[in-house]
Amino acid sequence: MIHSSSLIATDIESYLAAHEKKELLRFITCGSVDDGKSTLIGRMLYESHMLFDDHLAALEADSKKVGTQEGEIDFALLVDGLAAEREQGITIDVAYRFFSTDKRKYIVADTPGHEEYTRNMATGASTADVAIILVDASQGVLTQTRRHSFIVSMVGVKKIVLAINKLDLVEYSEEVYSSIVSDYTQFADEALNIDEITAIPISALKGDNIVGISKNTPWYTGPSVMEYLELVEVSSVSQSRQFRLPVQWVNRPNREFRGFAGLIGSGHISPGERIRVLPSGKESVVEKIVTYDGDLQIAGAGRSVTLTLEDEIDISRGDVITKAENPCSIADQFQTRILWMDDSGMMPGREYLFKSNTQSTNMTLGKLKHRIDVNTLEKLPAKILEMNEIGVCNVSLSSKVAFDSYDDDPVMGGFIIVDKISNNTVGMGLIDFALRRADNIHWQAMDVTKESRSLQKSQNPKLIWFTGLSGSGKSSIANILEKKLQSSGKHTITLDGDNVRHGLNRDLGFTKEDRVENIRRVGETSKLMLEAGLICIASFISPFTSERQMVRNLLEEGEFIEVFVDTPLEICEQRDVKGLYAKARAGELPNFTGISSPYESPESPEVRIDTTTMTAEEAADLIIDYINNS
């Protein structure tokens, strides 16, 4: 007998508490649009006739409105309700359904099949034990079927139910069923890292092979969907892995108590065991395992706990507690598999935010090694990943993090990629391994420092960063500014956009990706100039907010001075001494900023120059006044 409830990623803890002693199975339903995901879940609930009161009352009220008998739940109405909830879940994340049988409790991630919501499907798959991949029998295996299957395999799901749905539309044909099974298993053998695939012919609308075996498929002798879910072994791998506790916060309500709280990601721990904290490497011994319900003698994966230690050692949010004899690794450069989930393509060289468990740091994406075609499984050359594309890419972090490879431990090997400007999650990644150069390259400390070089020159190093459209007057103002600074005894150097492209960046074009890499290189070069104690003047269109912010982040507080040369596009076109705007208007110059490529104006520059109201000489004096008074 099935008992059910439905809500969208809320009240999970209270539901699980009511069924604490039952074994939990997490599964996901996925596939292409209209393959029947909501109908399948609705049929599971409908066949039980045992909905929880909150859902039952709402459905009975709606049943009366459409003329069904009192107390009778209309199947179509139930499915419509589930679909509506899932569509609501699209704007949140995933619609989670909860139900239980006498044997088990279940959490099903009900995800949309639309290609633009692949990110939601990936989120739901990341915690699933089993994936139910639905295929429309009248359509066969589609691109989205392959994409969802690839992602399921990518995030570590090892068991798949291939539910070939709508079999009633093909007259319950065994031949159609067998053909689809053959197509899918051939794809799976070549592309997926899956332990078990169980194919089941179903009609979610008619109820065939959902709860019991259907007479319409006498040629099928396997389990129904619910029979499979009742009998499949739930993986206990997370309990057998090495102990990992990402620290969420430090709990210190008074001087006598100091604990480190978090959700145990894998393994188990007991009082008296020696632990190591990463990335610091400091060690101590567990004194107590504290929970709301009292102290524990052992705690395992999935349990929220607070550990107290015998020693006072420095631990903060983002650290990872492991057992001393089995620590995870630490590194700041990795090979990763990435699923890109944003409308804007992935930008190699751009700085994003890396988040894994409670760890967070800046991340730069390296060049893409290849992308994977989910239809042909080819490794294709590519410079970027577009939305829903999967590829292999090296990444570099600004600080070391604790990790295990994803294949060894999904908890410690998975991460998300966050855009630093919009704060949107734009991708998810899986760590394959640390790059060897992460261990071979070390920062070499020098006796002569930036401070001593600056003192020698009697000046504070600054980066004066000019940004604005082509023809705005950046180079002219920068040239006058350097002459004025040098005449006052300052030590300077100017990096100009055109000049740099004759040497350092001569291999780069003007695509979005190349513009990002152009500014990344200039930013690193500018940082070296400041290390020399110089005042560096950089004059670049630098159209993207993200890259200007990236350069700012490279420097110390107060060293970056953004000068926005705010000249209207029509004025820049009138000047057009190089004839570039005319060529761009004629279609002869693709990716030209202001015409066919965007320019993102600074919102809060340190200095804003209006060249329609002041001369280049006046603009240079305004910048010097800012430097002297800052």
> Are 69 and 110 in the same domain?
yes
Cα dihedral sign, 223-224-229-231: negative
> Are 313 and 215 in the same domain?
no
Taking residues 48-64, report their average pLDDT: 41
> Are 210 and 65 in the same domain?
yes
Catalytic residue among 203, 266, 356, 542: 542
Residue-wise pLDDT for 290-340, tens only, equals 988 889 999 988 788 999 999 989 999 999 999 999 999 999 999 999 989
Taking residues 216-237, report their average pLDDT: 87
CATH number where 335 lies? 2.40.30.10
Task: Report yes or no on 444 lying in a domain.
Answer: no
CATH number where 542 lies? 3.40.50.300
| Geometric angle at alpha carbon 617, from 612 and 621, rounded to 5° | 105
> Are 122 and 63 in the same domain?
yes
Q: How far apart are CA 63 and CA 554, in angstroms?
A: 62
How many Cα atoms occupy the beta-carbon half-sphere of 262 within 13 Å?
A: 27
Decide: helix, strand or coil at residue 179.
helix
Which has the minimum average pLDDT: 16-20, 178-182, 456-460, 526-530? 16-20
| Percent of the chain whose predicted confidence (pLDDT) is above 70 | 85
**Hey, what are 507's tokens?**
């291999």
User: What is the separation of C-alpha 263 from the centre of its chain, rounded to a whole number of angstroms?
Assistant: 20
Taking phi over 0 as left and psi of -120 to 50 as alpha, with beta for the rest, 599 belongs to beta
Residue-wise pLDDT for 517-540, tens only, equals 889 999 999 999 999 999 999 999
CB contact at 8 A, 350 and 519: no
Task: Report yes or no on 443 lying in a domain.
Answer: no
Q: Is residue 51 predicted with pLDDT exceeding 70?
A: no
Which residues, 6+ apart, have CB-to-CB distance to 63 below 8 Å? 69, 70, 72, 73, 74, 77
Decide: helix, strand or coil at residue 457.
helix
CB contact at 8 A, 492 and 481: no
Q: Is residue 11 predicted with pLDDT exceeding 70?
A: no
pLDDT: is 278 or 377 the higher one? 278
Into how many domains does the chain fold? 4
> Are 225 and 248 in the same domain?
no
CB contact at 8 A, 362 and 353: yes
Q: Is residue 551 predicted with pLDDT exceeding 70?
A: yes
Taking residues 539-564, report their average pLDDT: 92
Q: Which of 209, 235, 261 is the last residue of a domain?
A: 235
Per the DSSP assignment, residues forming a β-bridge with 494 are 537
Q: So what's the pLDDT on residue 389? A: 87
Taking residues 78-104, report their average pLDDT: 58
> Are 217 and 244 in the same domain?
no
Q: So what's the pLDDT on residue 131? A: 93
Task: Report yes or no on 445 lying in a domain.
Answer: no
> Are 411 and 300 in the same domain?
no
Q: How far apart are CA 365 and CA 154, in angstroms?
A: 19
The pTM of the whole model exceeds 0.85: no
Q: Is residue 73 predicted with pLDDT exceeding 70?
A: no
> Are 128 and 17 in the same domain?
yes
Which has the minimum average pLDDT: 18-32, 205-219, 436-450? 436-450
Highest mean pLDDT among 342-346, 422-426, 459-463: 459-463
Highest mean pLDDT among 11-25, 172-186, 491-505: 172-186
Q: Is residue 265 predicted with pLDDT exceeding 50?
A: yes
For residue 593, what is the DSSP state? B
Q: How far apart are CA 192 and CA 46, in angstroms?
A: 33
Task: Report yes or no on 245 lying in a domain.
Answer: yes
Q: Is 214 exposed, middle or buried (0-12, 13-18, 19+ CB in 10 A)?
A: buried
> Are 455 and 587 in the same domain?
yes
Decide: helix, strand or coil at residue 61.
helix
Which has the minimum average pLDDT: 7-16, 205-214, 546-555, 613-622? 7-16
Q: Which of 323, 357, 372 is the last residue of a domain?
A: 323
Which has the minimum average pLDDT: 84-98, 371-385, 464-478, 490-504? 84-98
> Are 499 and 536 in the same domain?
yes
- Tell me the helix, strand and coil percentages in the chain, rounded to 5: 30, 30, 40
Q: So what's the pLDDT on residue 286? A: 96
Residue-wise pLDDT for 34-43, tens only, equals 778 888 888 8
Catalytic: 270?
A: no
Residue-wise pLDDT for 462-509, tens only, equals 999 999 999 899 999 999 999 999 999 999 999 988 888 888 888 888
Q: Is 587 exposed, middle or buried (0-12, 13-18, 19+ CB in 10 A)?
A: exposed
Taking residues 69-92, report their average pLDDT: 46
Q: So what's the pLDDT on residue 401? A: 93
> Are 73 and 212 in the same domain?
yes
Task: Report yes or no on 441 lying in a domain.
Answer: no
Q: Which of 308, 323, 338 is the last residue of a domain?
A: 323
> Are 381 and 310 in the same domain?
no
Average pLDDT, the chain: 83
Task: Report yes or no on 454 lying in a domain.
Answer: yes
Residue 550's domain comprises 450-629
Task: Report yes or no on 442 lying in a domain.
Answer: no
Taking residues 180-186, report their average pLDDT: 94
Taking residues 416-425, report their average pLDDT: 86
Task: Report yes or no on 530 lying in a domain.
Answer: yes
